[in-house]
Chain A
């Protein structure tokens, strides 16, 4: 059974950093593309970043490029998101999502499993 469990969320001040983790089970994170998607309170879904199955290619939304870094640890079967220079507008639930494809750079992309999310609040 595929499961994704995010952790690391919390309350931080503007300008601070936070690292989110996503523990995967039931599959290998090195076999599929993985992504982070967030949802601000009362808002829709926003894709943030992806890592393809090889781990060699990463992609970012313009809103987080240069501030967030996606990575994974194959030995622990985990996905991470390092978030620096956090802003109030980064306040959201952050979801880890498994793609049904090996890369997210494909028109065939879809996300077949999602974690329960972890809440990040950026406030002074």
Chain B
């Protein structure tokens, strides 16, 4: 079965750049997407098909992928970006798969 692995936590100082990674076999060949889940809220799509931003998501959010890793980068991180972030991909062996989530703390 296909698995996606994320670091449990990432900390960043306000105004700095946060990088959240997701790893999986040949993930760079897939179209990873990312969700943000603020405390007590539903997940919200912040990046899809590797590097596409939904409307309403600021330009400081960007996505990339290569090899076995997909990365969500948040430039000029703000306190409102503090949340859990999940990557997701599709694989024929497992259908829909989510990463375990990364808790982003903004210091």
Chain B interface residue count, CB cutoff 8 Å, equals 24
Q: Is the CB of B86 within 8 A of A44?
A: yes
A106 CB contact (under 8 Å) in B37, B90, B99: B90
B96: A residues at CB distance < 8 A: 35, 47, 50, 104, 109
Residue of A nearest to B45 (CB): A112
B89: A residues at CB distance < 8 A: 107
Q: Is the CB of B101 within 8 A of A44?
A: yes
A114: B residues at CB distance < 8 A: 42-44
Determine the interface band of chain A, counting residues with CB < 8 A from chain B: 20 to 34
B54 in the interface, Cβ–Cβ < 8 Å?
yes
Q: Is the CB of B33 within 8 A of A45?
A: no
Q: Is the CB of B90 within 8 A of A46?
A: no
B95 in the interface, Cβ–Cβ < 8 Å?
yes
Interface residues of A in 66-124 (CB under 8 A from B): 95, 97, 100, 104-117
28 A-B pairs (CB sep. < 8 Å): A37-B98, A44-B99, A44-B100, A45-B35, A45-B43, A45-B88, A45-B98, A47-B97, A50-B95, A50-B96, A95-B43, A100-B48, A104-B90, A104-B95, A104-B96, A106-B90, A107-B30, A107-B31, A108-B31, A108-B49, A110-B33, A110-B48, A110-B49, A111-B33, A111-B45, A113-B45, A114-B43, A114-B44
- B residues with CB within 8 A of A: 30-31, 33, 35, 37, 42-45, 48-49, 54, 86, 88-90, 92, 95-101
